[in-house]
Amino acid sequence: MAENDWSDDSAYDDAVRRAQRATRVGWTAITGTVTALGCVAVVAAVACLAAVVACAYVVVSVNR
């Protein structure tokens, strides 16, 4: 065993860096997915509202 082997933390430091990188990638993926789902929900809500307004317009126009 070499004299300085007990203080060689390079493998540990490398593992910590890889874990931090994986964590960042994971959170970025989660954030992107949640953002995309939020945008889809807003678009769906606007489309439903537009459909309700269009249906109401048709009902009012037919009854005149």
Is 1 within a domain? no
Domain span at residue 55 reads 8-62
Structure-token pair, residue 60: 């009012």
Is 21 within a domain? yes
In 3D space, the residue among 24, 25, 22, 4 whose CA is nearest the CA of residue 14 turns out to be: 22
As a whole number, mean pLDDT of residues 57-61 equals: 93
Q: How far apart are CA 16 and CA 37, in angstroms?
A: 31
Is 18 within a domain? yes
Rounded to two decimals, what is the model's pTM?
Answer: 0.66
Is 36 within a domain? yes
What pLDDT, on the 0 to 100 scale, is given for residue 1?
47
Is 3 within a domain? no
What pLDDT, on the 0 to 100 scale, is given for residue 8?
74
Tell me how many domains the chain contains.
Answer: 1
Is 17 within a domain? yes
* pLDDT tens readout for residues 13-58: 999 999 999 999 999 999 999 999 999 999 999 999 999 999 999 9
